[in-house]
Amino acid sequence: MLGIETTCDETAAAVVERLSDGGGRILSNVVRSQISEHAPYGGVVPEIAARAHVDMLDGIIGKAMTEAEIGFDQLSAVAAAAGPGLIGGVIVGLTTAKAIALVRKTPLIAVNHLEAHALTPRLTSGLGFPYCLFLASGGHTQIVAVLGVGKYVRLGTTLDDAMGEAFDKIAKMLGLPYPGGPEVERAAMLGDAKRFEFPRPMLGRPDANFSLSGLKTAVRNEAARLIEPKAQDVADLCAGFQAAILDLTVDRITVGLRLFQEQFGLPRALVAAGGVAANLAIRNALQDIASKAQTTLIIPPPALCTDNGAMIAWAGAERLALGMLDDMDSAPRARWRLDEETPTPAKFARTRAQH
Ligand code: KG4
Ligand code: ZN
């Protein structure tokens, strides 16, 4: 299975083989990050991303095929992330996959990018269903019950900023480089987390949703009060912010796991994915939560935790094995919920208010 990923700022292609025992083998996994193109702007610029995908994708696919040492005629199918993501990039990846499928007469699998993150621990650890996924990246923050291929129940999501986005925005306002997550984490290690008392929105709520924009505003207000912030001020602000994020993460995932158990029994694992899962303080907190909930923590290796082509290929292979193919008129999608049936929190809130 060839997998193509272009939903954000990584141009990626990979070839993955699904073995007869249900396990997987990565034959190649080529990722080209666009970080240097976006860094001057402090965040991903959609137009620049789409153009870079157009420029790079052919070469990246060629490299993935060469490294896998296979020809196009040996592919069982081709998979591309068809969303959710920046629409320009999604169009580039999906159209390329369609062209390959058409010319080579192989099936097309239009993969949901979130599903690919969700199924990765089955590729890396052979994990069985059901399990609980915490996905926290620059674009997403979700707690999801993964019950089977194509069977997902979203237990919690962010009502505003994604967690990685919050790290990036804090970094930008404090003059730290992009991407901000690792910079904020590094600065936080040198800071006093008690100097600033930041709010913990949603703490203690019975649902498992996140809200991070109020926390971000609180950090901005404190930063604005400081005249010419020194390195120690920046470190203290980062430490205070990260402490709030930790408290929120522990509280929200604990609730998420409780909701999981009430509905689906004990999860086989708590899985963390997305760039934020690289944060050591967050990893340690997740370890504690998993132990308390009597489950194991699985975090795929960093290269498979962040955006990559192997996860798209693997999700495609899992779907192909179940005969879940897609049409050539599958549309690229900027938004695409993993569980289309479960109402969004906003709808929940409206229905509750109406009653
Ligand atoms: O999964 P990812 O590589 O790409 C997508 O967003 O899809 O995630 C990148 C995000 C960025 O917002 C980055 O700041 C954040 O993950 N991140 C971190 C850390 N490393 C990366 N956030 C907190 N702590 C980190 N160590
Ligand atoms: Zn992602």
| CA–centroid distance, residue 46 to ligand 1 (Å) | 17
Determine the Cα–Cα distance for residues 275 and 136; give it in Å rounded to an integer: 7
pLDDT digits (tens, 9 = 90+) for 295-331: 999 999 999 999 999 999 999 999 999 999 999 999 9
Q: How many domains does the chain have?
A: 2
The minimum-distance atom of ligand 1 relative to the CA of 138 is: 6
In a domain, 170, yes or no: yes
In a domain, 254, yes or no: yes
Nearby residues for ligand 2 (ion, Cβ within 5 Å): 137, 307
**336 lies in which domain range?**
2-124+303-342
- Indicate whether 86 and 116 sit together in one domain: yes
In a domain, 347, yes or no: no
Residue 114: pLDDT over 70 = yes
- Indicate whether 255 and 309 sit together in one domain: no
What CATH code is carried by the domain that includes residue 204?
Answer: 3.30.420.40
Mean pLDDT of all residues in 344-351 = 46
| CA–centroid distance, residue 117 to ligand 2 (Å) | 7
In a domain, 278, yes or no: yes
- Indicate whether 155 and 252 sit together in one domain: yes
- Indicate whether 273 and 180 sit together in one domain: yes
Look at strands 141-148 and 131-136 and give their pairing.
antiparallel
pLDDT digits (tens, 9 = 90+) for 168-200: 999 999 999 989 999 999 999 999 999 999 999
Residue 81: pLDDT over 90 = yes
| CA–centroid distance, residue 141 to ligand 2 (Å) | 10
- Indicate whether 8 and 86 sit together in one domain: yes
Q: Which ligand is nearest to the CA of 162?
A: 1
Residue 347: pLDDT over 50 = no
Contact in structure between 285 and 310 (CB atoms under 8 Å):
no
Q: Name the residue with the closest Cα to ligand 1, atom 14.
A: 181
- Indicate whether 205 and 294 sit together in one domain: yes
Determine the Cα–Cα distance for residues 345 and 156; give it in Å rounded to an integer: 8
Q: 130: left (phi > 0), else alpha (psi -120 to 50), else beta?
A: beta
In this prediction, residue 146 carries a pLDDT of 98
In a domain, 353, yes or no: no
Any idea how long the chain is?
Answer: 355
pLDDT digits (tens, 9 = 90+) for 210-227: 999 999 999 999 999 998
- Indicate whether 136 and 118 sit together in one domain: no
In a domain, 354, yes or no: no
- Which is nearest to 155 in space by CA: 34, 284, 47, 256? 256
Residue 354: pLDDT over 50 = no
Q: Is 249 in the pocket of ligand 1 (CB under 6 A)?
A: no
User: Which pTM was predicted?
Assistant: 0.92
Q: Output DSSP code: residue 43.
A: S
In a domain, 230, yes or no: yes
- Indicate whether 250 and 105 sit together in one domain: no
- Indicate whether 116 and 176 sit together in one domain: no
- Indicate whether 179 and 249 sit together in one domain: yes
Q: Is 42 in the pocket of ligand 1 (CB under 6 A)?
A: no
In a domain, 351, yes or no: no
- Indicate whether 23 and 58 sit together in one domain: yes
In this prediction, residue 342 carries a pLDDT of 52
Q: Which ligand is nearest to the CA of 8?
A: 1
Is residue 323 classed exposed, middle or buried when 0-12, 13-18 and 19+ CB atoms within 10 A define those classes? exposed
| CA–centroid distance, residue 275 to ligand 1 (Å) | 3
Determine the Cα–Cα distance for residues 330 and 313; give it in Å rounded to an integer: 17
- Indicate whether 153 and 56 sit together in one domain: no
